[in-house]
Amino acid sequence: MLNNVITQLYFSMKRDIIQLLTEWKTRANRKPLLVRGARQVGKTFAINEFGTQHFASLVSINLEESPEYKSIFKTNNPKSIIQELSVLKNIDILPGRTLFFIDEIQTCPEAIVCLRYFYEQMPGLHIIAAGSLLDHTLSEMQLSMPVGRVEFCYMQPMSFNEFLLALLEDKLLEYISSFSFGEPFSEAIHLKLLDLLRYYIFIGGMPEAVKAFVESQKLLDIERIQSSILTSLKYDFAKYGSKSQQRHLISVLNYVAQNTGKKIKYVNIDNEVRSVNLKEAFYKLEMSRVVSLVKHTASAGVPLTTHLNPDIFKAFFLDIGLANHLCKMQLIDPLNMLTINEGALAEQFACQELLNLAAPFDEPQLFYWVRDEKNANAEIDFIFQHNNLIYPLEVKAGKTGTLKSMHVYLLEKKLNTGIRLNTDTPSLGEFTTKVRSGTTHAEISFKLLSLPLYMSSQLPRLLDSL
């Protein structure tokens, strides 16, 4: 177990989304906010925490747990809704002083429609809505969607930075956040961060699992929580369609957990099921934010969607801890656990960190590059975009590893900087190497920004410093 055992009676979960919510609160052109994210990533906790800390009062309703509140949204009159809710809750609801939080709003499309009228007729009232299956409702809504009258933000599982804060390791986060090239990097701090990274890889970023680790450090409790979360995700499948469709969803779910980062070939999932049915399962799981699809792009610059092939993609699970639990990895001793999947775990971790780097008001989207040609195969794990520039990004589970695909990509796309995430200390170097791509033989010079996996969050800042 960790040497610095945390013995706090109250679990404080510092989430990055609070900063966005704080900015939203004071913005003059604010609109009702819809928070989108998978089940149990911490939406409800974060919004309630924000409301308690930043408003004189918080009025929260959960339309899944208390369906009786749905009837108040049958009218499009915001003042009538607030008056009725004020009586039911026995509290004054005041613009500028009250946060009105509608949880699991996807169960009541009429409530989503009403957000338009709140924006138009009561713009002074702060309203946040959230839902774990919100994307399904939005895509299937037959009522008028309040386009232009609401704004969105997206929430992911806890990042590694948030994990450090939950463990009260603020100084570690300060250390990696202030590091710059030209300074020595402490080997002792590096080893400690690798140990914590190892714990995160098997615990994951689902808030309830992190909370259990912080408060008790009993690994069996974490496994029990992970099992419960996965069960609740599968229960949601009953809302997606027929029994056969639900079976396809479970097949895809299990396949993604066991084949993280591999190019998807439907025949490898179930050769007795039509590919169109499996494709639909991926689509529904992506809308539920249970899996993330990373699609192939051949673009040499922004936008990366210019030469996008949506039929070539690889898939990643919602959370690395849940994926490991689904693969039956028991949390006996994470620090000494060796798996045949080390490379896939590193790539899954990198995927989650890169998704967390996206601006919370933008739909997170990742890309990769692959070329399947005889005697000329090459693949880049991720194509990372920053400030309208693109960089090939390779992920390694250890300190070493060849970068042949990166060399080919840099040559073909005429780029001069690559990124590597691994388990070594950070470094920045300039290299010259000979590259063979098909019939082309050339020599390239390039910069390589190499960071330990636990510093993935520092990529934008360190790229700016180059």
How far apart (Å, rounded) are the C-alpha atoms in residues 106 and 161?
A: 30
37: its two tokens: 């994210």
Q: Whole-angstrom distance between the N-terminal and C-terminal Cα of the chain?
A: 38
Residue 198: φ, ψ to 5°: -60, -40
- Is residue 313 over pLDDT 90? yes
Residues of the chain with CATH 3.40.50.300: 17-154
Q: Which of 134-148, 323-337, 350-364 has the highest mean pLDDT?
A: 350-364
pLDDT, tens digit (0-9, with 9 covering 90-100), for 13-66: 788 999 999 999 999 999 999 999 999 999 999 999 999 999 999 999 999 999
Measuring CA to CA, which residue among 114, 81, 82 is closest to residue 98?
A: 82
Cα distances from 50 to residues 22, 54, 64, 223, in angstroms, run 8, 6, 21, 29
Q: Is-contact 201 300, C-beta < 8 A? A: no
Average pLDDT of the residues in 365-377: 84
433: its two tokens: 């190497």
Residue 143 banded pLDDT, cuts 50, 70, 90: low
Average pLDDT of the residues in 147-162: 93
Residue 10 banded pLDDT, cuts 50, 70, 90: very low
According to the model, what pLDDT value does residue 5 have? 41
Q: Is-contact 12 168, C-beta < 8 A? A: no
244: its two tokens: 């056969």
According to the model, what pLDDT value does residue 372 have? 76
Q: Is the dihedral of CA 374, 420, 418, 429 positive or negative?
A: negative
Cα distances from 240 to residues 137, 235, 278, in angstroms, run 11, 10, 13
| Angle, alpha carbons 190-205-14 (nearest 5°) | 85
According to the model, what pLDDT value does residue 339 have? 63
Average pLDDT of the residues in 165-182: 96
CA dihedral defined by 346, 347, 349, 353, rounded to 10 degrees? 130
Measuring CA to CA, which residue among 348, 380, 353, 376 is closest to residue 367?
A: 380
Determine the distance from the C-alpha atom of residue 273 to the mean position of all C-alpha atoms in its chain, rounded to a whole number.
29
1 or 335: which leads in pLDDT: 335
pLDDT, tens digit (0-9, with 9 covering 90-100), for 198-220: 999 999 999 999 999 999 888 88
| CB-based burial, 389-413: b 16+ in 10 Å, e otherwise | ebbbbbbbbeeeeebebbbbbbbbb
CATH of 17-154, one of 3.40.50.300, 1.10.3720.10, 3.40.190.10, 3.90.228.20: 3.40.50.300
* Token pair 């609740």: residue: 232
216: its two tokens: 């008790």
Residue 361 banded pLDDT, cuts 50, 70, 90: confident
According to the model, what pLDDT value does residue 6 have? 41
pLDDT, tens digit (0-9, with 9 covering 90-100), for 216-242: 888 889 999 999 999 998 888 877 767
pLDDT, tens digit (0-9, with 9 covering 90-100), for 234-286: 888 877 767 888 899 999 999 999 999 899 999 999 989 999 999 999 999 99
Q: What is the pTM of this model?
A: 0.92
Q: Is-contact 194 454, C-beta < 8 A? A: yes
